[in-house]
Amino acid sequence: MAAQQSRQAQRRRALNGSGSIFWDNSTGRFVGLLSLGREPDNRRIRPKATGHSIDEVRARLDVLREDFDRGTDLGSDYAVADACEDFLVHGMHHLTKGTADEPRRIVGKWIFPQLGHAKLRELKADEGGCLA
């Protein structure tokens, strides 16, 4: 009984919002999960990060949380073309077709060919110079 109480005294409680980190025997890696709220259809937003050590997983969870707080898409393959397409579909839905055609033409001619492939998460300010 005393040994069990001393083990519990050594363990410290995780901070709220830090996520869950556990060992996955099937993959042989640590897995971290965050709870970031709910989707409009009431599904939980629960991104996952894996790594070889707890510190590595904790760092990846911090990056995921920062991306979510900034409003950045959590996927690592989200490209500039995807962001532009999302904006053209969802950000300009209130405009008439004729008004929306000009930005669609500009994006299709200038942004998609030169920056469309770039991953949004890895994009740096000096990469925009290829448009000049």
> Taking residues 88-92, what's their average pLDDT?
83
pLDDT at 114: 85
More confident residue, 56 or 71: 56
| CA nearest neighbour of 65 among 56, 74, 76 | 74
Mean pLDDT of the chain: 80
Q: Which residues of 18-31 are buried (b: 16+ CB within 10 A; e: fewer)?
A: ebebeeeeeeeebb
C-beta separation of 84 from 73 below 8 A: no
C-beta separation of 46 from 34 below 8 A: yes
Residue 91 has pLDDT above 60, yes or no: yes
Domain boundaries, the chain: 2-70, 80-131
Ranking 13-17, 28-32, 65-69, 91-95 by mean pLDDT, the lowest is 13-17
| Band of pLDDT at residue 85, cut at 50, 70 and 90 | confident
The tokens describing 45, both together, are 């937003």
